[in-house]
Structure 1
Amino acid sequence: MVPTLGHLGPLPVNTHDVFVGLGVMVAAVVFLLEARRRRVSDERVWIVVAGALVGGALLARLGTWAQHFDLRDNASLVEHWLYGNRSILSGLVGAYAGALVAKRLTGYRTPTGDLFAPAVALGMAVGRVGCLLTELPGTPTSLPWGITLSPAQVEALRPAYGAAAVAGVPMHPSFAYEIAFQLLIFCLLWRLRDRLAAPGELFKLYLAGYAAFRFAVEFVRGNEVVFAGLTRPQLFLLACAPLLAWHLTRQARRGVYRDAWRRTDRQPAPATEAAS
């Protein structure tokens, strides 16, 4: 566990925040490269990006507010904003909603999912390094690559994770699993970026892949089980999955994905026609 990377004068440099910032920077670079490659010239696309960032930041923080069915048992919104947890799943929903709102306000019609998908995947891979270095690794495991916490590390984690933080017991490195997944799906998205028959589909594929992975990895993540043996993220995914599955099924029937792996690479179309 590496909670800080050092100090800037009297201020500690928070490891998690540094890697989240690096992840955002990496995502921005990938987005810029793809926008240039696809010859995106409409400046309104940057308003869409701003909408995604604002929506993602807001819902990542506030999306975990309702921890209890009785709203009186939850912290106030101000307390939760200052001290509450952040959720990647809520952040992705917020970013998607923020981009849609920005498009509606600006009248920007061109799909942007193909620009966002590789950028988000690689940015997430970098950002999750901060989680790996600062958060509870996962549930106990007998596998040889388990992470074992020292008593001092457990004491630091105990206020946030309670009895789930145990010293001397190997635990699943769940965030390392996610980093590997994000790198793998980034490579897949990069390969498919000019091969789908409909614009904007890369981000839908990314969401579907991440949803399936996240549901599975939750079983070794160590999050609180709240209902029917499932965690809050798993319940959230079950609520959202039918809509995403319906969209992918409809697109598959239309043949959008049929020849993706057999197509030869082709040059991206200009921004007005691109699958962006």
Structure 2
Amino acid sequence: MSPLVPHIVPELEMMKRYPSELFYRGDLRLLDRPKVSIVGTRTPSLYTQQMTQDIAKALARRGVCLVSGAAMGVDALVHEAAGTENTIAVLGCGLDIRYPVINSALIASIEKNGLLLSQFNDGFRATNWSFVVRNELVVALGEILIVTEADSRSGSLRSVEFAQKMGKKIFVLPQRLGESRGTNRLLFEAEAEAIYDIEAFASTFGKAVDDNVTKDEFFYFCQTMPTLDQAVKEFGERVYEAELEGVVTIRNGIVCLQ
């Protein structure tokens, strides 16, 4: 049997009802990372595919953990672009079941390197109802919700409803008229903001760093641009070692990531 998450996850307090059971497989430390939820259609256009990957990669370079639902299309693109070690997949079935089958290898990689979550015990097979439950959990985990493409009947719009009830900001991609009618309607009705510049958007989550920089507790602390005194108090000589390695700079008494 998959183990239960052994502690309260603060973000989930925003759900209508905190999960009575929350099963996991993988690295629970990802729950402590800054997190963004991205969802969308199972049949994204080529434009949406590219932009979804670009957004996920830009956020991952800033140490943001990407959350999605392991479905075909946008979900899978998010998990892959973020890197399976930097993503949380929420399933609408038991964690012992690989669904959808086409994403079996991806889900197995996330279990090994990232984190799988589910409110359903091993052996439970997905239903229309369980996908709705999954969607609420996906939305609750992220600081914001990004919907990269959704038509007017898309299940992703149910995720939008959850985000609105939780008071979370919603972002969408600008799309052509007649396409992605669901997200275009959100823009028209001022219920979402458009991402026009991916790097500018991602920069609100911190400074991008090379993939070879370890994104650990020290990294996240330095994203806050602490004073030198604060950094030394928390991490001691690690601060000066990081400066010599070119990971951080110290300017006017402030520690900044390079």
TM-score clears 0.5:
no
**What is the TM-score when the length of structure 1 is the normalising length?**
0.26
Higher helix share: 1
Bigger-Rg structure (1/2): 1
Higher strand share: 2
